A and B are shown apart, each in its own frame.
Chain A
């Protein structure tokens, strides 16, 4: 694996290796000196064509804790907004000597184009592309689930995880379905039929239209953000009706197993897909997901950019 473009790029052992490495990175982040010299002298570019302060600063923190030089290139205020092509941008970054490009783009497949095109020889890491994939989000979700429900070791076998909401437009859902099932978890997608993609039956997941009947069986429930603009496209009648059937609230909290955790990739629409009471409850690991994001991204950068050898002397990269 040279790039991380999709969760499906990962084999079972590669995915576990990233999680195990992330656990080591987490110990660094918890220590008094939150910095490793691993990527000193390396240049990492955050190439963000779409607004995402959270993901960008998470990658930035990860790269800086590994002592890399970080350049933030956002489409706003750059030449991209003047109509420069992805190709020209990639070649410019190549000329500046970027070792890795972390790309967030509103077009599905843009990271793969960057990796395949020959415009750059940098390592490409997908930080979310359109409605396609967000592999590091899935890795941090798997890491969070493993930490809480598997004492931080091994895979996710035996666990049942519900992903609730706008599956159709969610890159988080796509990456999670692939990764969580790869790691042995059973995934249940819960959504109104309008927000499930055509052919979803072929995914390694079960489908349900009814949240209440699913909640008693899950070990983790992942609530997805519902974009306001979906309401104008007839995906559901009103926000109130959506919340009524698919929102996580205090009543539904009571249906969960005592050990079950509540997750959300953020940013949340409090009151729409999740009430404040749920988001802020003791079962919620939403804030911790953010911290784990830094550890997981440190692991990905470490393994892909530093080319760290594994126990067999082979590089994951």
Chain B
């Protein structure tokens, strides 16, 4: 296996270090004295770029099997690596649904075959995402994919008894239920955040209370049965408040926020361009600020992309006819830098926590989110925080083009990504044919 010496990396404490990678593991981190085994290493000078543990996404739609027109495990893996990720979590709403050991193993193997990131399948909570009967959670947990995160994402597990049983059942193997918090009765045909703008535009509103009511119910259920609960894509100030309260009570709840909800507001719907149509919807500036504060103080544990690729015909249409969702793997780190680091809310060590350590811990992805120290698996991301780039949807590695950030100038460029000791990105470009055995 090739050895790599990453030179002039900036650690999150601000110190500059060289990092020696060999046999998929970090062998040495230091500055002054170089160990002997450096001699035959390939040198990668990252020129002061910040070293982060490889990013981990807990919420990714890779669309395979079933919707390979919008994304495949391979194209999504390439997009993830480009964005600095070394692990993604493939959501269960595929065709067929990932509700059996067979489907999750297929997705897991496709990820291994692609070889750009670890693809950890998320299993469906209920059969066919229908919310009625539990899927075979144990079989998925015991499968080769070793599923620990279960979600009906796209649908809310609305029946409180089904939710209770799911929360209880996954304790058997340390699993977690990731809830898409959306009361379906309060959000029939909803198109965007319910507020001043939806009222003006005549688009059916998706009220904050539909999210908050489910979060409140589920933290109480998780408390009652002593289980782990994860709240997907929190979007409301009220949701942050409820989670903060739950954590103060010692309830085992974690939560995620997407990059787009950290930056964009429902104001973007004004031109009816469905590239801004997403579920849960873009909210108000007040919500955006509450989400940023929640992420900074740890109420919200992680950033997750909710990368949701769609073919262009699903967005080149009227708002109501358009699909919900945005791609986000290649822009996530830049959006976090823009909204959280440059605003002074968090430091780069917090970025490492919110985008790698914490999601790896929630997903039980033991080879990820490790500190940059000798002995850790060499999953690493190097970001040139002083650089900037202009988002061009036609240059995305994702098979889809539905980025809401097209044309924006964003800070921070991923210059190198190492996945299990091998580079997937060098000099800001994907390394072709990357394959980790």
Contact = CB atoms under 8 A, between A and B. Distances in A.
B320 A107 contact: yes
Nearest to A117: B316
A198 B195 contact: yes
B202 A108 contact: yes
Interface of A: 85-87, 105-110, 112-113, 116-117, 129-133, 171, 174, 197-200, 202-203
A116 B273 contact: yes
A108 B319 CA distance: 7
Interface string B105-117: 0000000000000
A131 B202 contact: yes
Interface residues of B, number: 23
Given A116-B271, A202-B196, A108 B317 contact: no
B318 interface: yes
Contacts of A113: 272-273, 317-319
A159 B50 CA distance: 65
Contacts of B200: 174, 199, 203
A107 B321 contact: yes
Q: Which of B194, B196, B313 has the most CB of A within 10 A?
A: B196
Given A107-B321, A108-B272, A112-B272, A85 B203 contact: no
B139 interface: no
Interface of B: 191, 194-196, 198-205, 207, 271-273, 313, 316-321
Contacts of B195: 198-199
Nearest to A167: B199
A86 B201 contact: no
A201 to B, nearest CB: 9
B316 A199 contact: no
B199 A107 contact: no
Contact of A130 (B202, B205, B207, B313): B202
A177 B383 CA distance: 51
Given A87-B317, A109-B318, A199 B202 contact: no
A133 B270 CA distance: 13
A202 B197 CA distance: 10
A112 B320 CA distance: 13
Nearest to B193: A198
A200 B199 contact: yes
A200 B203 CA distance: 14
A176 B196 CA distance: 17
Contact of A108 (B196, B316, B320): B320
13 contacts: A86-B317, A87-B317, A105-B318, A108-B202, A110-B318, A129-B202, A130-B203, A130-B320, A131-B204, A174-B200, A174-B202, A197-B199, A198-B207
A105 B199 CA distance: 18
A21 B246 CA distance: 63
A106 B200 CA distance: 16
Contact of B202 (A116, A117, A171): A171
Given A85-B316, A87-B316, A116-B271, A109 B199 contact: no
A131 B203 CA distance: 7
Contacts of B203: 108-109, 130-132
Nearest to A178: B200
Nearest to B320: A107
A109 B202 CA distance: 8
Nearest to A130: B202
A108 B201 contact: yes
Most buried by B among A108, A110, A112, A129: A108
